[in-house]
Structure 1
């Protein structure tokens, strides 16, 4: 009796092939048929493992989240936000072409939801009002998505025509590390602004939460 045929397709293999496809060719290239072609099978073979393109996007999102260093996201809320932001950006920097796909989908990846829960816990422990938890996390997330979308862009694009305004030197001569400087500047300003907001809330009766304000935290 001959050996059973070797399994050519696995769910993880589909997701890794999809991520590689997006890394190489961009988000518009992602389709079940293109992923199947990379795996050397016919498109319908994939539907035994995934329901369609949306599930593939969630799967490659999970692979990217797995590259993030979120296990140590504990301690003062500012440190949790800082680590979360840096871990997300580092993973996005490795896969910038996947960012538009991820940003257009609701978050359903368990590891990403766990990161949200840790951030909410840290903010809650620091005295942030419950109704402010999601806005704070979203404000950081919006900054991260914008930063990540710029990773695959070139500031000098579109600056070669005539009749351009004067004073575009910072764009024409952007230093190689301008994205890192922009990220560091923005993250520091964002965290400092949030720290000031929390301090103002604590000065309100009940610490802005309907209860006594907790001791100051970083």
Structure 2
């Protein structure tokens, strides 16, 4: 029996081709017709595996989010956030064109909700009030997504004259592209470290207030019964 000229379609092959197309051309350029052309098949062939383009995108999102690890909160909230943020960035940084789709929110995707549940539960167990835990989860997500949607350093060109003549404080900007990965990575670490330090100050205030309340109740035991 002769082998087919076009490899058989699978959800994995369709999904990988869609992500490659998005990486290359951008999220707005994805369509079932273009995806079919990328795979060398008719668009109708795709619908056997995915009923809509959104179903393809949702599956890609699930695969990427499955790579995110939020399991380190048993080592403390700082370690938990640090590990989660690094894992989160690593899962997304190679696909900046897809981040905008994920930024819409977790929706009902199991992988997103699994992570949100682990993060919120880990923060509350570590002593954060539920409202603060919600805001910390959201803020970390903003930080990671902002750090993966595009490269700051690659936004500059190599021509020294573009900046030197009109923008004296950017006279070294033409050198940024050559060190883009290093600058982007270290900038993320700087932002994450500053964020964690700020949270530590907030957490210390919360803990001091709790200690004050415990001391007050201990000194006035009748107030708890009244």
- TM-score (ref. length: structure 1): 0.79
In structure 1, distance between residues paired with 2:40 and 2:16:
14
Question: Which of the residues 171, 187, 191 maps onto 1:186?
Answer: 191
What per-residue deviation string (whole Å, max 9, x for no partner) do you get for residues 87-115 of structure 1? 11112222222222322454443222211
Q: 8 Å contact 1:123–1:133 — kept in the other structure?
A: yes
Give the number of aligned pairs. Answer: 207
Residue correspondence of structure 1 range 75-154 to structure 2 within 5 A: 75-104=75-104, 106-151=106-151, 154=154
Q: 8 Å contact 1:17–1:38 — kept in the other structure?
A: yes
Shift of the 99–170 alpha-carbon distance from structure 1 to 2, 3 Å rule, reads farther
Task: Tell me the C-alpha RMSD between the 2 structures.
Answer: 3.2
Q: Which runs of 5+ in 2 are unaligned?
A: 218-226
Over alpha carbons, which structure has the higher Rg? 2
Shift of the 145–170 alpha-carbon distance from structure 1 to 2, 3 Å rule, reads farther
In structure 2, distance between residues paired with 1:30 and 1:104:
17
The worse-fitting range, judged by mean Cα deviation, of 30-39 and 101-110 is 101-110
Q: Secondary structure at the match of 1:21?
A: helix
Residue 30 (1) aligns with residue 30 (2): yes
Q: 8 Å contact 1:68–1:87 — kept in the other structure?
A: yes
Higher share of residues assigned helix: 2
Question: Which of the residues 172, 185, 189 maps onto 2:174?
Answer: 172
Task: Report the CA distance between 1:40 and its aligned residue.
Answer: 2.6
The worse-fitting range, judged by mean Cα deviation, of 91-100 and 159-168 is 159-168
Higher relative contact order (CA 8 A, sep 6+): 1
The worse-fitting range, judged by mean Cα deviation, of 8-17 and 115-124 is 8-17
Q: What's the counterpart of residue 224 of structure 2?
A: none
Q: What's the counterpart of residue 204 of structure 2?
A: 199
